[in-house]
Amino acid sequence: MKNGTCPKCGSESIYCGDKIPLKNGPFGSNSIPVSILSMAALDNYVCTDCGYIESYIAEKDKLKEIVESWRSLRTTETNDETGSE
C-alpha cells in the first residue's frame, strides 16, 4: 500500500497519516506497545474506496526493540513442529 495501490481492491485512492502530530499521544492512540516502557508510533495507510488499512512502525529503531522483546512466530512454528517450546 506504500506504493499507492490498495492490495485489496486495486484503488489508487490511498491516504497516509505519517505527518499527523502526536502519534504517541497521551493515550497512545496511534501506537502499539513494544515493551512495558516503550511504545511505537504507527504510520497508517487507508484506502478511501474500500476502507482497507495498513499500519507500519514509524520509527525504524523501534523494530530492533520489537525483535528483542516480542516472540517470533517463525521460531514458534519451528518449535511447534518439533514439539519443543
Select the more confidently predicted residue: 81 or 58.
Answer: 58
HSE (CB half, 13 Å, CA atoms) of 2? 6
Q: What is the CA radius of gyration of the chain?
A: 16
Q: Say whether pLDDT at 66 is over 70.
A: yes
Give the 3-state secondary structure percentages of the chain, helix then strand then coil, rounded to 5. Answer: 20, 25, 50
Tell me the pLDDT tens digit for each residue of 9-23.
999 999 998 888 777
- Look up the pTM and report it: 0.73
